[in-house]
Structure 1
Amino acid sequence: MLCSLRHSIGIWRRSTNPACEFLISSYLSTILALNSPEEVPNYEPEPACALHDQSFYQNPQRFLGKNLALGRHESLEPTLIGLRKQMQECAKGGDLVGAFNAMRYMEPTVLDYNALLYRYLKSDNVSGGELVRIFERMKRFGPYPNVWTFNVLSNGFCRLGLLEDAVNMLEEMSSYGFVPSFTSLKILLNKSLSSGSYGFSCKVLSLMLHLDYPLSLQVLNRLIYSLIKVGRVSLAYDIFSMLLNKGFKPNVYTYNPILLGLCKCGQSCTALSLFFALRKKGFCHNLYSYTALVLGFCKEGLLKEAYQILEQMRNEGLKPSVVTYTIYIKFLCKYNKIDEALDIFHTLGKENKHADLVLYNVLLHALCYHNRMSEARKLVHCMEENGLLPDRFTYCALAGGLLRSGYVKRCQTLLCRILSSTSFADVVTWNIYFHSLCCDGKAREALATVNSLVEKGFTPSVVTYNTILKGFVREQNIDEALEKLDQFHCDEVGPDLISFNTILSAACKQGDSSIIRRVLDRMDIEGVKLDAVSMTCLIRYFCNSGKFIESFKLLKHMICNGHKPTTLTYNVLLDCLCKKGLVINEYKLLHNFRYMGIDPDTTSYNILIHASIKKADYFTAERLLKEMYSQGVMPDAVTYASLSYGFCKEGNIAAALSLEHQMLENGVKPSVSYYNTIMDAMFRMGRLWDVFLLLSKMEIEGIQPDSISLKILNRASAKGRKKQFPNAMKVLEILMKTASNSSGLEAN
C-alpha cells in the first residue's frame, strides 16, 4: 500500500518536493505509531544526510542491523519504514541512543518525534529529564512541537506523577496558542487531587475556567473538601465564591464543608453571611449546615447565638441531632454552665432522642470536674438504664472527679477494678492510677509499679514519668526527683520540658539555688531550651529573694527573645510586689499590664484587691471589683475571702456573712478561708455563740476546719477567752476537734 502510494505521487527514492516528502513522512510515522503497540522516545536529532551517503545503500546492515538489511532490488520505502520501526522499538525499550541513531538516517518530522515520545513513555525506565531535554531541543532546532507533542508530554508527565511538569507543559501549550484538551485537563485534575497536590489542582482548575471547559460537580466537591481538609479554607472559599458568581450551581455537599471549615477556624460570622447569601439565592440547607454554625459560635464563646441557631432549626422543621446537642452541651460545660447543659440534656427525651455514650461522657466529665459527684453517679445509673455500658472515658472521668473531691482511696479502688480488665488497661488509665498514688504520698510505690509493669511489656509515656516526678516534688523529695531523670533514658522515654519545669518550679518556690543550677545545667546538656514557664519560675525565685532588678532583666530578656510573658508571669510579679508593699497604685499597674497585651485573670484581680484591702484602700478595691465584672472576669472563692477580710477588719461581720448569698448565686462554693476570716473576727469581738453557729453551718455544708481554723481557736484561748468563757470555749474546742479529726487534723 505504501509503495503504491509513493508511486501514485511520483516519488521513488527521495522526493524533490519538500511538501510532498513531509506529507509522506507524516503519513508513514502516523501509520507506524498507530499500528505498532508501542511508544517512542527522543534525543538530539542529527542531520539527515545518510540517505545521500552511497555507503548506506552499499552496506545497510552496518548502519541498521540485519533485520533492516535491504535487498538489491528493494525500494527506499521499506528502508524508511524500517528506520521508523527501529526508532520506535528502541524508544519502547528506553534506548534513546539507539532511537536517535535510527533517526540520523531520515529527515524526522514532528510526527516522528511525537511517535518517539509516545513510545518512550511506554518504556519501563522513563526519565522526566530526558523528556524535557527532547522537548527543549525540538523548540531550539526543530521540528517545532505541535499540539500532539504537548498532549503526549502532558499526559506522560501526569502518568509519571510529575505534576509540576505536566501543568507547566499545559500552560506553555496555551501560551503558544494551542488549546489543551478537556480530557488532558480532567486527567491532570483528578491525578493532582489523588496525590494531594492541591496547588496544582487549583492551577488546572484556573486553566479549565479560562478555556470555558465544563466543571463537574463531583470534581469541584472533591477539590473543596480536600482544600478544607488540609486547612486551605480561605482558598476554598475564594474558589467557591468565584464559581458562584460565574453562575455555577453547587449543592449542599459543596458548601457544607466550607461552612464547617470557616466555623472551625474562628470565622463564624463569615460562615453566617455565606449561609444567608446561599439561602437568598435559593439554595437549601440541611442539618449539617446548621450544626456547623452551632460549632462555630460555640468555639467563639457565643453560646446565645448558638442557641438561636438551634431555635431556628426547630422553627424550620429541622430537629437538632444528638451530635448537634453534644457540641452545644460540651461548650456549655466548658464555660461552667453545667445546669444549662443538664437542661438541654433533658430536652433530648422530650424530642424522643437518645443520648449516646459520647454525650454522657461529656456531661459526666463536667460534673466530676466540678465535684458534683452525686449527680455524676445518677448520670451513670441513667446511662446504664438506657443500655449504655461505661467505657474507659467514663471510668477515667469518674476517677478524676473522685480525686478532685479528695476521695483518693475510693479512686484507687475504682481504678484497680477497672485495670483488672485488660480492655481498659491503657496508658491513660494507668497514668490516672499513678496520679492517685502520688496524691496519697506514694510516689515510690507508683514508680515501683511502673517498673514492674515495664517488665511485663507495658510502655510508659513521658506523662507517666512526669506524674511521678510531680509526686516526688509534692513530697519535698526534689533531689530524688532530679535523680529519677536518669531513668528516663534507660526506658527510652527522654525527659521533656515539662519534666524539667516540674523540678525547676519546686526548686524556685523553695529558693534552692543549688537544685536550680543543676536543673539548668541538665537542660543545657539535653539541649532543652527555657520557655515562658521556665522563665516565670526563675522570676518567682528572684522576686522571693528580693532580687527585683534580676526579675525585670529576665522579663525584658523574655520579651526581646520572643517568649511572650503569660498572665501567670505578671501574676508572679504582682504578688511579690504587693507582698513587699512596693505597689503604690494597683489600679494603674493593672492597666499598664493590659497596655502590654496581657489580659488579667481572676488571680490578677485577687492579688490587687487583697493588697488594696490590706492598705484599707477600699475605693481602689471597689473600682477593681467593678472592672472585674465589666471585663467578664468572674470572682472566685479567693475574691470573696478578701472582701470578707475587709468587712471583718472594719468589724462589719454581717456584711461579710451576706457575701455568702452572692457567692452561691454566682456558683461559687464558700471556702474554709472565707469562714476562717469571719471566725477570727467573731473571736476577737467575743461573739462565741456566733462562732458555734458558724461551725455548725460549716459542718452542715461539708466544710471541715483546717489547720488555720485550729490556730484561730488556740490563739483565742491564749488571749484569755478560755478563762472568760470556759464552758463556751470547751464546747467549741470539742466541736472543732470532732470536725478536725475527721479531716486528719488535731488541735494542739
Structure 2
Amino acid sequence: MKTFGPSPNVRTYTIMMNFYCTNHSGQQPKVDIKEAYKILKEMWEIHISPSAATYSVWVRGLCRVGCPDVALKFIRMLRYENQPLNSYCYNAIIHGFCAEGEVKKAISVFEEMSNSGITPDICSYSILVDGFCKFESIDGGLCLIQGMQENNIKPTPISYSSILKGLCEIGAAKIANDCFHDLTNSGCKVDQTAYDILITGFCAQGDLSSAHELLEEMINNHLAPDASIYERLIRASCHAGSADTAMKYRNMMVQGGYLPDTVTCNFIVKQYCTDGHVMGALNLIDEMMDQGIVPNLYTYNVVINQLCKDENTEEREGRVLEALHLIDEMVDQGIVPDLYTYNVVVHKLCKDINAQKALEVITVMLKRDMFPNVIILNTLIDGFIKQSYFKKANMFYRGMLKLEITPNVTTYTILIGMLCERKKVKDVYRRRKVKKAYTLFRKMIREGINPDKICYTSMIAGLCGIEDVNKACALFREMQKGELLPTVVTYTCLIDIFCKLDQMDEAKKLLKMMVRQNISPDVKTYSCFIDKFCKLHRMDEAEMLFDRMRKENISPDVVTYKIMIKGYEIVGNSDLAYEMTDEMRQVFNIPDNSI
C-alpha cells in the first residue's frame, strides 16, 4: 500500500496498531508495545492525525503490558492538547488499574473521565463493579449498580455477574440468589452465566437442593445448561455422598447432548466404591465404554481397590478374580496397570493367605515388563511368612538384593519379626534365629535405615524370648534416646521376662514408667504380674491386680482367668478356684464340659 497505493489511512494504521497491542490467545506475537509505538510515531511524522479509536488502542496496549500510570499520563497530555478522546481510552485505564488491584486509582480515573465531559458507559461501570468485588467490597459494587440505574444505565449480565460471583466466593450464595432475583425483577436480562455462577456457589456450599432449584428455573426460562454446570452438580453430589444423584445429573447431561469426560465419570465411580456399591461402578464403566468414553488408569484402580477391600467371605474370592479380570481388561484397552494396581491385588491375596496366587500375579507383571517395587515385594514376603513358607520369604529377600531394590524399614521389620516370633521350636534353634535377627537389625542401622517402634519391639520381644535381657534393655534405652516412645507391647515384653526371672522390682519400675508416659497397661501386662504372684503363692497381690484391672475397665481374658484358677489350685483353695471357673464360663459363654 505504501509503495503502490492506495496509501494507508488512519483506519489502516489503527488496525495495524491493534494487531501489535493485542494478546493473541497464547499465539505469537503477543503484545509488542515497541512496534505499536513505531506505528503511532510514523502517523505523527507523516501528519496523519490519530483518531480517538487509535489512541484507545494505544492506551489499551500500554495497560496490557502493565503500564496504566503511563497510559493515564498520555491521555492527560492528549486532553491538554485537545486531541480526540473517548470512553474506550478511559475504560482501558480503569481496567488496567483494576487488573493490578488499584481500585482507588481506577475510581479516580472514573471521576476524572466524568469531569472531562466524557460520560461513563456501561463498560466503565462493569469494569469498576468487577474490581470492587475482587479487591475492595461487594457493597461498593452494589452501590455502583445503583449508580448505574440512577443514571439510566441498565446493568448488563456482565455487570451483576461480578456481584454474584463475589458473594458466592465469600460463601453468601443465598444473598447472591436474592440479589439475582431482585435484579431480574427490575428488568435486567437473565443469562446462562449468572445461573452458572449461582449453581457453582450453592454446590461449593453443599446446598444441592438450592442448586437443583436453580437448574430447574434455568430450564424453565429456556436456557440450556451447558456441560460445566452438569459437571459441577455431579461433583457436588459425589462430595455429598450420593452416587445415585450424581448419576441422575449424568443422565440429564447426556440427554442434553453432552458426554461427560472421563474425569467427571471417575467422581461417580469413586463414590460408588466409597458407598460399597462396586457393581454400580462396574456398570458405569461398561456404560462409559458403550458411549465412547475411555476409562483411564484411575478409573480401574479405584474399582480394583474396592474389589480387594471386600470383606464378605462368601464373595471374597470372586471379588479378587474380578479384580484380576479388570487388570486384563485394562491391558486390552491399552491402559498399562501401574505398581499401585498390582500392589492392591498382591496385598489382598497375601491377606487372604494365598501367597502362591500372589506370586502368579508377580509373574504376569514380569511378562508385561513391569518390575515389582519394594512395597510389593514386602507384601509378598509377609504373605509367605504368614503361610509359614519361610524359605520362599527369604528367597524373595535375597532376590530384592540381587535386583538392587533397596530394602526399607518394613522389609527388615517383617524379616526380624519372622526370625523372632517363630515359636514351638527348640531353644538352641530359636536362639540362633534371634541372633540372626539381631545381626539383621544392626545391618539396617549401618545402612542408614532407622528402625521404627514396631521393629524395635519385635527385636526386643525376640531377645526377651531367649532371655537376653541385657541386649533387650539396651535396645529399650536406645529406642528412648531416639525419641521413639515404646508401646504397651514393648513394655509388656520386658515386664514378662523380668517376672519370669524373678526380678519383680525391675518389672514394677517399668510399670510405673508406663504410667508416667501415659501408656495404659493392657490385659497381657497385668497377666504377667498376676501369673508371677500366683506362682509365688501370693494370691492376695494377684487378686488385688485382678480387681484393679476391672476398675480400669480392662476386661480379663480367658488366659487371665485360667492363671487365677491355677493359682487358687496351687494354694489349695478349691472353692475360689471353682467360683472363678464358674465366673469364666458365664463371662465367655463356655460350655460346662469344655473345661
Please report the TM-score for the alignment, with normalisation by the length of structure 1. Answer: 0.41
Please report the TM-score for the alignment, with normalisation by the length of structure 2. Answer: 0.49
Q: Which one has a bigger Cα radius of gyration?
A: 1
